[in-house]
């Protein structure tokens, strides 16, 4: 049996993603799941649709526009700090 493998010399699409790309995508997915778990009853169908369509769009932005990855990480960290500070204050 003779088998031949043809290679175009390029890596696959997902093989080109770094660990930081996957971490950013995972963080976006976790944030989406948190928003659904926490605010699902308070959202109407339009807000749920916006959140669902925003998730792959945000992942695409982070993957294809590298400087946005650092900005997104900074905004996420600031948001978490503000959320925790408000939780302590409300008591």
Summarised one tens digit per residue, pLDDT across range 51-87 is 999 999 999 999 888 888 888 888 888 988 898 888 8
Place of tokens 């659904």: 36
Query: What pTM did the predictor assign?
Result: 0.72
Residue 77 lies in a domain: yes
Tell me whether residue 2 is in a domain: no
- The answer as to whether 47 is a domain residue is yes
Q: Is 70 part of any domain?
A: yes
9-25 tens-digit pLDDT: 677 767 778 888 888 88
In a domain, 72, yes or no: yes
Question: How many domains are there within the chain?
Answer: 1
Domain assignment present for 7: no
* DSSP line for the chain: --------S---TGGG--HHHHHHHHHHHHHHHHHHHHHGGG--HHHHHHHHHHHHHHHHHHHH-HHHHHHHHHHHHHHHHHHHHHHHHH-
Residue 1 lies in a domain: no
Domain assignment of residue 62, yes or no: yes
């Amino acid at each position: 049996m003779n088998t031949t493998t043809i290679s175009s010399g390029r890596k696959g699409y997902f093989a080109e993603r770094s660990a930081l790309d996957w971490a950013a995508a995972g963080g976006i997915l976790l944030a989406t799941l948190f928003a659904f778990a926490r605010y699902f009853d308070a959202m109407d169908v339009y807000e749920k649709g916006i959140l669902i369509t925003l998730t792959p769009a945000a992942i695409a932005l982070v993957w294809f526009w590298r400087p946005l990855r650092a900005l997104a990480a900074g905004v996420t960290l600031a948001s978490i700090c503000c959320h925790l500070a408000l939780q302590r204050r409300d008591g």
